[in-house]
Amino acid sequence: MACFLLLMTACGPLSDTSKSEPPSTTTAASTELTITVQPQGAGGPTRTWTLHCDPPGGSLPRAAAACERLSAEALRALPPGTICTQIYGGPQTARVRGRVEGKQVDSRFGRENGCEIHRWDGVSFLFPVKI
């Protein structure tokens, strides 16, 4: 028992009561995006929406649902050397710029192969256009 007490006192106090700092609180990092879509591809008409979260808003339809689903991970580009099926999904292009969870993003989307179609489909809630 004496060894146990010696070890406990050697480790120091369990809590430091000399400091009276409030517990740290974290606020949700900001999300503010500009979403630009060319539903008919380059040279066609352009549609633009905005999205911000905390609180959800902007011109994007269903902003609250988009904020719940959105992550910076979903906007990452494909790693170099990714092998993709050569399936053409259409001429549509999109660009998402701004901040997600406080991280700067500038992502481009297209439908030129299977990987890019998959990326597009994963964030299609940001592109409220018929394709």
pLDDT band at 111 (very low <50, low <70, confident <90, very high): very high
d(CA 98, CA 32): 6
Average model confidence (pLDDT) across the chain = 83
Count of CB atoms situated within 10 Å of the CB of 82: 10
Peptide bond into 45 cis (omega under 30): no
Dump pLDDT digits (tens) for 31-68: 999 999 999 999 999 999 999 998 999 999 999 999 99
Question: Strand 93-100 and strand 31-38: pairing?
Answer: antiparallel
- Quick one: pLDDT at residue 29? 63
Options 1.10.10.10, 2.30.33.40, 3.30.499.10, 3.30.350.10; which CATH number does 28-77+86-126 get?
3.30.350.10
Query: How far apart, in whole angstroms, are the C-alpha atoms of residue 54 and residue 51?
Result: 10
Give the H/E segment covering residue 102: none
